[in-house]
Structure 1
Amino acid sequence: MTDGRLDPEREEALHALEDEFSALFARVRRMYLEYAARLAPGLSPAAYKLFSAIAAAGQARPSELSERMMADKSQVSRMVRELEGHGLIERMPDPADGRSSLLRPTEDGLRRLTAVREGDEQRLRNSLRSWSLDDIRNLARLLHALSSGETP
């Protein structure tokens, strides 16, 4: 339509998609709450997400994490202290920048993270067991396009 409104069918489809995303995000938030508690009692879900990012990268600077997590440096600093307090990460001097440090997961932290996530891959596989390979590939392709701002 030329006045900026969408046709009713498209509007309805977009509302349905928004509803599904809301449900998915709520489920992910619950998952982060559960995983954080299993990783270290009292750990915040935000710190769990930060720890996951550090573990995935192998090591990272706090400034990189702040940018990646779209969080204020002071928030990242508090979460780093929280993770250190739980023995999940260790801080090392950054050889490339003496003013900064590198954060890396401890062996115990990685072991605990693996235990927390155990079974999730299997749950996803079980959920998608009856899906066709084309449907799985299409979902991955469409989610990538949506997250990157591309047109599928």
Structure 2
Amino acid sequence: MITPDVAATPAEIDTALGDLQTHLNLIFARTRTLWKESAARIAPELQVGGYKLLTFIDRAGTASAHELAERFEMDKSVISRQVRMLEELGLIESRADERDGRLRVLTATPVACAALAELRSDHASRLRTVVAELTPDEIHAASKVFRLLAEV
């Protein structure tokens, strides 16, 4: 283990970065699986893309199709299909924007909000179990790493 007062060699840094990349790949794979499982818990027909849009709409309160397309870097036709499915499943509602009637404002239905709240509670419980052996400082350090990676 490298102590803070000893400079790491380039080889040690490369090894550590390789280990980090390996574990990030595993996290991404697990995340994709978790999204699939979560989408299926909400509705068996719900696709992962629709689940991601729904969670964003729920957390944001409202969103437009344009915002979703920009946020998720998806083609508007894909967004349109996913929004239509979410509406058909009774998970979102669409209404005219009060400022610009040409735009549609999307909101999660109470049924969707309740299902997502239950999922978030389950996910938080699982995460608490996983990090139970870590100190708050270690959790903060991990959070800092993820924040920095998200800004790249």
- Provide the TM-score with structure 1 as the length reference: 0.89
Q: Would you say 1:55 and 2:58 are equivalent positions?
A: yes
Map 1:1-150 → 2, pairs under 5 A: 7-149=10-152
> How much does 1:8 deviate?
3.0
Which 4+ stretches in 1 moved above 4 angstroms? Answer: none
Q: Distance in 2 between matches of 1:44 and 1:55?
A: 16
> How much does 1:93 deviate?
0.2
> How much does 1:138 deviate?
1.0
Q: Does the residue aligned with 2:111 lie in a helix, a strand or coil?
A: helix
> How much does 1:16 deviate?
1.4
Q: Percent identity?
A: 37
> How much does 1:33 deviate?
0.5
Aligned residues: 144
Q: Does the residue aligned with 2:46 lie in a helix, a strand or coil?
A: coil
Q: Distance in 2 between matches of 1:61 and 1:112?
A: 21
> How much does 1:113 deviate?
1.7
- Structure 1: where are the runs of 5+ without partners? 1-5
Q: Does the residue aligned with 1:136 lie in a helix, a strand or coil?
A: helix
Instruction: Give deviations 1:42-85, integer Å, cap 9, x for gaps.
Output: 11011000100000001111101111111111111111011011
Q: Distance in 2 between matches of 1:11 and 1:141?
A: 20
Q: Distance in 2 between matches of 1:97 and 1:30?
A: 39
- Structure 2: where are the runs of 5+ without partners? 1-8
